[in-house]
Each structure stands twice: as structure tokens, then as C-alpha cells.
Amino acid sequence: MSPRRQGARQLLAEAGYPNGFDAGEVIGDTIYGAAIGEPSVNFLQEVGIRTRLRPLERAAFTAGFGEKKLHGLIVATSGAAGNAATRLESFAVSGLTLRLRRLPRHRRALCRAGQRAELRAVRKQLLDRAQQLIYDGWSSSP
């Protein structure tokens, strides 16, 4: 067993799971979800985290993801090019189906201000703050 896998097993044991645990399903679409999900499931199982791969047809996956009806480990990929500003627009500000969460108006304004800022330092500061607000809201929600 590789040192990395041994380290993962040791961390699980230290966390109180010497025999691993059941993590449920790994869900993804039949293309990217399977391509990324299968090696992920294999690695998790090698270190003691029991999972099952559940590939879904792309339309079913997109609908379930967008409606937040999928539960378990989700394999979601994005081919969106760009930087923090364009990613925030795609996944937090716009009305896209795969939007992670709809932000309150003042946070959307912060994201858009970060996109428009001409000075790199100001743009970075605004986008860092927007990302932190998204994280804070995400980690505090049920």
C-alpha cells in the first residue's frame, strides 16, 4: 500500500474510524461523473471509505443537481473558462441551472463590482470577500 493510502487509513483511525465507514453514493453524470467518480470510489474504498458509484444520464443529473435533490458525494465538473469573477458569475450570481446558491442582492452586487474593478488589487479584494461570504453562507446553512 502506498504511503499516501497508509496515511489516509491512519487519519481515519485517528478520527475514530479504524474500520472505515459507509459514505453512501458517489453521484455524477455518465461521462464525467463516471470518469472521475470511478477512480475516486476506488481510492476511497482502498482506504476504508465504502461508497457506491451511481452514474446518471446527463439530463437527469443536471436536473437533480439544479433542484438540489441529489444527496451523497456529488461529482460535478465545469469546463467554464475564466477566473474567480467568471466562476462566481456562473455558479453564484446568474440564474443558471447549476447555480450552487442564489446570493442575496448585496452579495451579487459585490461579485459584479469585483468583476468590473479596474485595479487588480481592488478586484482581488472584492472577489476574495465575495467568495468568503459565499463560503460563510454555505457552511452555516443546513
Cell 500500500, residue?
Answer: 1
Structural domain of 104? 81-142
- Other beta carbons within 10 Å of 95: 6
Per-residue pLDDT tens digits for 19-49:
999 999 999 888 888 888 899 999 999 999 9
Spell out the residues 6+ positions from residue 84 whose beta carbon is closer than 8 angstroms to its own.
114, 127, 131
Total domain count for the chain?
A: 2
Whether residues 41 and 87 share a domain: the answer is no
Rounded average pLDDT over 68-89: 74
SS (H, E, C) the chain: CCHHHHHHHHHHHHCCCCCCEEEEEEEEECCHHHHHHHHHHHHHHHHCEEEEEEEECHHHHHHHHHCCCCCCEEECCCCCCCCHHHHHHHHHHCCCCCCCCCCCHHHHHHHHHHHHCCCHHHHHHHHHHHHHHHHHHHHHCC
* pLDDT category of residue 61 using cuts at 50, 70 and 90: confident
Q: Which residue has the higher pLDDT, 99 or 81?
A: 81
For 28, what's the count of Cα atoms within 13 Å in the CB-facing half-sphere?
Answer: 21
Taking only Cα atoms into account, the Rg of the chain, rounded to an integer number of angstroms, comes to 18
Whether residues 55 and 102 share a domain: the answer is no
Whether residues 95 and 121 share a domain: the answer is yes
- Among residues 50, 77, 104, which one ends one of the domains? 77
Rounded average pLDDT over 84-100: 61
- Among residues 77, 107, 122, which one ends one of the domains? 77
Whether residues 140 and 88 share a domain: the answer is yes
Whether residues 40 and 93 share a domain: the answer is no
* pLDDT category of residue 52 using cuts at 50, 70 and 90: very high
The Cα 102–Cα 104 span in angstroms is: 7
Whether residues 66 and 118 share a domain: the answer is no
- Among residues 77, 97, 119, which one ends one of the domains? 77
pLDDT for residue 69 is more than 50? yes
